Chain A
Amino acid sequence: AQKITQTQPGMFVQEKEAVTLDCTYDTSDPSYGLFWYKQPSSGEMIFLIYQGSYDQQNATEGRYSLNFQKARKSANLVISASQLGDSAMYFCAMREGAAGGYNKLIFGAGTRLAVHP
Chain B
Amino acid sequence: EAQVTQNPRYLITVTGKKLTVTCSQNMNHEYMSWYRQDPGLGLRQIYYSMNVEVTDKGDVPEGYKVSRKEKRNFPLILESPSPNQTSLYFCASSLGTGENENYGYTFGSGTRLTVV
* Chain A interface residues (CB < 8 Å from chain B): 4, 9, 31, 33, 35, 37, 43-45, 47, 50, 52-55, 91, 93, 95, 98-99, 101-110
Within 8 A of A (CB), among B24-76: 31, 33, 35, 40-45, 48, 50, 58
- Once the chains are docked, how many angstroms separate the CA of A47 from the CA of B92? 12
Residue B104 is within 8 A (CB to CB) of chain A in the complex: yes
Q: Check A103–B40 contact: CB distance below 8 A.
A: no
Q: Check A35–B104 contact: CB distance below 8 A.
A: yes
* Chain B interface residues (CB < 8 Å from chain A): 31, 33, 35, 40-45, 48, 50, 58, 88, 90, 92, 94, 96-105, 107, 109-110, 112
Please give the distance in Å from A18's CB to the nearest CB on chain B.
24
Q: Check B112–A99 contact: CB distance below 8 A.
A: no
- Once the chains are docked, how many angstroms separate the CA of A110 from the CA of B105? 17
Q: A54 is contacted by which of B100, B105, B112 (Cβ under 8 Å)?
A: B100
Please give the distance in Å from B66's CB to the nearest CB on chain A.
15
Assuming the A-B contacts A95-B103, A98-B101, A104-B45, are A43 and B94 also in contact, with contact meaning beta carbons closer than 8 angstroms in the complex? no
Assuming the A-B contacts A98-B97, A98-B98, A110-B42, are A104 and B104 also in contact, with contact meaning beta carbons closer than 8 angstroms in the complex? no
Assuming the A-B contacts A105-B105, A109-B42, are A33 and B110 also in contact, with contact meaning beta carbons closer than 8 angstroms in the complex? no
Please give the distance in Å from A61's CB to the nearest CB on chain B.
11
Which residues of chain A come closer than 8 Å to B90, judged between CB atoms? 45
Q: Check A107–B102 contact: CB distance below 8 A.
A: no
Q: List 26 A-B contacts (CB under 8 A).
A: A31-B99, A33-B100, A43-B88, A43-B112, A45-B90, A45-B105, A50-B102, A50-B104, A52-B100, A52-B101, A53-B100, A98-B98, A98-B99, A98-B103, A99-B99, A103-B48, A103-B50, A103-B103, A104-B48, A105-B45, A105-B104, A107-B42, A108-B42, A109-B41, A109-B42, A110-B42
Which residues of chain A come closer than 8 Å to B110, judged between CB atoms? 43-45
Least CB separation from B42: chain A residue: A107
